[in-house]
Structure 1
Amino acid sequence: MTPLITDPLQPVFVIAGAAFCVCLMATICSPALTLFSQILASAQKKVFYDKFARQLATMATTLGVLCFTTMAAGILHTALEEPALFEGPLRLPLMAALGTLTLAFALQVIYSLTWNSLKKNKALHRLFGLFAGLSMFTAVFLSLGLKRTVLAAGLSIPSSAPALDTFLAVYSIPAQSVFWPLLAQALLAGTGAAGALGLCYLLLRREADNYGRDYYNFSTAYCARCALIPSLLQTIPAALLLWMSQPVLSPFALENPFVLLWAAGIAIPLLACAGWMIVAVSAAPLRHKPAMITAPVLLVAGYAVQMFAALRVYALI
C-alpha cells in the first residue's frame, strides 16, 4: 500500500499552503460579505452593519497587501526561472488571470479607502465593491481553470496555436469535471474564512476602534453567522469532490487510508462551525473568544488535510 507520507516536509508545505490559501480566499471573498452588509445596513436602517462592513473591508485590504506581495514575489521568481511559461501557448490565460486579480485588488483598495469620501455617494461606492467582488470571483475561475489545464494528464498544446483558440480551449470545461465542485468549494470556503478571520479582526481591533459593547455583541454574532453558513455549505462540494475521485481512490472504502484522511479533512471544519454556532446564538458572544480564535486554526487544519489527501491521491506530491 502507498505510504501516506513519503517526505517528512510534505505536511509542513501543505499546512503552509493551506494557511496561505485561507488568507487569500478570505481576501477574495470579503467584498461579497462587505457589500451584503452594506445592503443590509440600508434595508434595515442599522448602522452596525455598515461599521462591520468597513472593518471587514479594512481587514481584507490588509490581508490582500500581504497575500499579493507574496504572490508577486513568487510570480517574479517563476518568471526568472521559467520565462518560457510567460511566452508559451498558455501566456494569454496566465496574463488574463494575473491581470484580473490585479484589477480586483486595485478595486478592493479603492473600495476600502473611499469609505468616507464617498459617504454621500453610496451607489458609486458600492459599485466599486460590486466590481471588486466580481473581479475576484472571475480571477478565481481563471486561475483554477488554468491550474486544471496545466495539471491535466496528457495535455499537449501546440506552441503555434492561436492565443484565442488556446484561451477558449483552456476554459471549455465539461459539466462533469471536478473543476465545478472545486470552484464552488473554494468560493464557499473563502467566504467562511472571511467571516472566521473577521471575528479575529474584531477582537484584535476592539480596543483601538472602541465602538462599544453593543456593537461588538452584534457584530461578533453576525460575523459568526457569516462564517458558519458558507462553511457548512462548502462540505457539500467537498464531499462531491471525494465522491468524484473514486476512479483514483481504489478501493473506495474505509480500509483505504486516503479515503479516511480526505473524509477527516471534510469533517474538521465542522468543529469550527460548532464554535461559531455557539457564538451566533449566545446572548454574550464575547465570552466565547476561544471558539473565535481556534476556528481559523481548525479551518487551516481541515483544508490542509483535504489538500494533502488530494495531492497524494492524484500523485502531485
Structure 2
Amino acid sequence: MESMSVLERLSELLPALPPGLIEAWGQLVLFAVPVCLYLAAVVLPFVVLYGLIRAHFGRRSLLERCSRQQARFANFLNWLFLVCFVGLGLSKVVPYETFPPLYQAGLYLSAGLLVGGTIIWTVVVAAWKPLRGWPVLHGFLAFLTGSSLACLPIIGLILGRVALQGTELPQENDLQTLIDLLLPSASDPFWLYFGLIHFLEVASAGALGLFWLLVRRKIDDFGRDYYVFAANWCGEWAAWGGWFSLIMAGVLCFMLQTQDLLTLENQGALLFVAALFAALLIPSVIWTVIARSATPMRHKIGMIFSLLLLIVAIANSGVLVLL
C-alpha cells in the first residue's frame, strides 16, 4: 500500500472543504514566502523615511544608523525581485504575450514601477552620506520609491479581483466602463482585503527587519545599545502591523459572513479562519514583547517563529478568496 502524503491525509479529515483547497493552501504557503519579502520591500522605504524624520528630533545617530541598515536590506530585496522579474520575462515561464491587453498593461506598468523604484533606491543607498545634507530630497526619494513599489500589490489586487470574478473585459476603449470594472463599490469586501494587505506589509517590514538584525548582528558590529534600539524599533513596527491586521481580518470575516460569502458552519472554513487569527495573534504578542524588552535580541526563537507564522497568515489570507 502506497504511503499517503500529509496533504492527502488532511484532505480526508476535512471532506467539507472545496476540492483541491488543501493542495492550493500548500502552494499558497510556498508562494507566501516571496509575497512576504515583497510586502516588506514596499514598506521599508517608508520605515526609513519615518526614521529620517525622527532623527531630527532625538537619538539621531541610532535612528540614522538603523535607517541605513534597513535601507540596504530594502535595496537587496528590490534587486532580488527585479532579477526574478527579468528572469521570468526572458524565460517566458509566464505566457504574458497571451494575456488580454488590460493584463499586459498592468504587467508592463508593474515592471516599469519596479525598475524605477529599484534604481531610485539604489541611488539613495549609494549616495546616503551626501544626501544627509539634503534631508528634504532624501525624504522625497524615499517616499517616491515606496510609492512606486506600493503600486505593484495594488495593481495585482485589482486585476486579480477582475480575473477571479471572470468579468468579461470591455472590447472598446470606454474609460467609464473600465473604471467601473476595476474599482468595486464602497460596500465591497475588496476594500477591507485591500486594507488587510497593507497592514500585512507593515508587519512584514518589521518582522523581516528583525530577521535582518539577526543576520547582520556579527557583521555590522554597532554595539549592544544599537541592537537593543533597532530591535525595539522593528518590533514596534511589526506589532502595530500585526494588531491592525488582526482587527482588519476580523472585520473582513464578519463582512464576508454577513454577505454569505463565508460560511463558518463549514468546519473546514472555520479551521482556516481560526488558523488565520492564531497566525496573527501569536506573532503580534511576540512582537509586542520584543518592542518593550530591555534585551530584545535574546528573543531569537521568537523572531523566527513569528516570521514563520506571519507567512502562514499571508497564505491563509489568500485562502479567504478561495473559500
Q: TM-score range, shorter-chain basis?
A: 0.7 to 0.9
TM-score by length of 2: 0.86
CA distance in 2, matches of 1:82, 1:166: 24
How far apart are the structure 1 equivalents of 2:261 and 2:199? 25
Assess, with a 3 A threshold, how the Cα gap between structure 1 residues 272 and 252 changes in structure 2: closer, same or farther. closer
In structure 2, the partner of 1:220 is 231
Give 2:185's aligned amino acid. P
- 1:12 pairs with 2:12: no
Q: Secondary structure at the match of 1:234?
A: helix
Per-residue CA deviations over 1:157-193 (Å, capped at 9, x if unaligned) read: 233x127556534433311122211221111111111
> Pick from 105, 108, 118: which aligns with 2:131?
118
SS at match of 1:208: coil
In the other structure, the counterpart of 1:97 is: 110
Distance across 2 between alignment mates of 1:35 and 1:242: 33
Cα deviations across residues 73-104 of structure 1 (Å, max 9, x unaligned)? 3345558635131x634443443333233322
Q: Which amino acid aligns with 1:51?
A: R
Q: How does 1:1-317 map to 2 (within 5 A)?
A: 2-3=16-17, 6=20, 9-76=23-90, 81-85=95-99, 88-153=101-166, 155-159=167-171, 161-162=172-173, 164=175, 167-246=178-257, 247=259, 249=261, 251-253=263-265, 255-307=266-318, 309-313=319-323
Tell whether the 8 Å contact from 2:193 to 2:252 is kept in structure 1 after alignment.
Answer: yes
Post-superposition CA distance 1:228-255 (Å, at most 9, x none): 11111111222222223224556433x5
1:10-51 deviations in Å (ceiling 9; x for gaps): 343111111111111011111111110111111225211111
* More deviation, 119-128/24-33: 119-128
Alignment coverage as a number of residue pairs: 308
Contact (CA 8 Å) 2:192, 2:251: kept in 1 or not?
yes
CA distance, structure 2, for counterparts of residue 168 and residue 100 of structure 1: 21
**What's the CA shift for 1:199?**
0.8
Deviations 1:94-143 (A, max 9, x none): 43333233322332222222212322222212111011112222333222
Q: Give the 3-state SS of the residue equivalent to 1:157 in structure 2.
A: coil
Matches of 1:310 and 1:65, distance apart in 2: 31
Rounded Cα–Cα distance in structure 1 between residues aligned with 2:88 and 2:55? 39
Percent identity reads 24
* Secondary structure in 2 matching 1:117: helix
Give the match's secondary structure for 2:210: helix
Task: Decide whether the 8 Å contact of 1:146 with 1:170 is kept in 2.
Answer: no
CA RMSD of aligned residues (A): 2.4
- Which blocks of at least 5 consecutive residues in structure 1 are unaligned? none
Unaligned runs of 5+ in 2: 1-14
Moved more, 66-75 or 174-183: 66-75
Distance 1:99 1:177, change over 3 A: farther
